[in-house]
Amino acid sequence: MIAGKNGKRKLQRTKGKTLKLRFIVERLVNDKNEVVAEWLLVSNLFDEEIDAKTLAQWYYYRWKIESYFKLLKSSGFNLEEWQQKEPLALFKRLLIISNACILIWKIANDNSDNTKAIRDFLISLSGKQIQRGVDFTYPALLSGLESYLATLDLLRQFSVEDIFKMRDELVEIIGIEI
């Protein structure tokens, strides 16, 4: 796309070979025959043994993998900013983070009452705003888990009395009640 005279974008034709593509519409419906989700897919795979349903399933799995990498890159882990030079250090870090992601996945997909309370607790610790009608997001759960683990570590190092004593000292220093 390029910008036109009035600032509107318009398509720019590019010379080249025409691509042969498949357009696939995949819909998930519930028991009431209502569309719950819809994917519009474009593929250049024309193998006769691979039907549209199989291709849609592959894209579904790929999306799960992409979501995992999004968590690694932008939900507090900042994968692209890691400075590890040794493969073993990188592997250890990925292993720890992957375990945290698995724990979050389990918490997100368990529908028991106890786990719902845990999700709500982690969301409240995360400090993230969640869209109306959405109970949780994976990044918010992950952020809440990070806060929870940091709190547990803090409680291992200091007594509750010490923590409140430090709060009182901060109030005295800044002159504002916290």
First to last CA, the chain: 52
Distance CA 34, CA 25 (A): 15
**59: closest CA among 107, 18, 22?**
22
Q: What tens-digit pLDDT sequence spans the chain (178 residues)? A: 566 677 777 778 888 888 889 899 988 899 999 998 888 989 888 888 888 889 888 888 888 888 888 888 876 677 778 888 889 988 998 898 889 889 999 999 999 989 999 999 999 999 888 888 899 998 899 889 989 998 999 999 999 999 999 999 999 999 888 7
Residues 6+ apart with CB under 8 A from 9: 1, 2, 3
**Mean pLDDT of the chain, nearest integer:** 87
Lookup: tokens for 119: 């999700």
**58: closest CA among 36, 72, 41?**
41
Distance CA 175, CA 143 (A): 30
Global model pTM greater than 0.75: no
Rg from Cα positions in the chain: 24
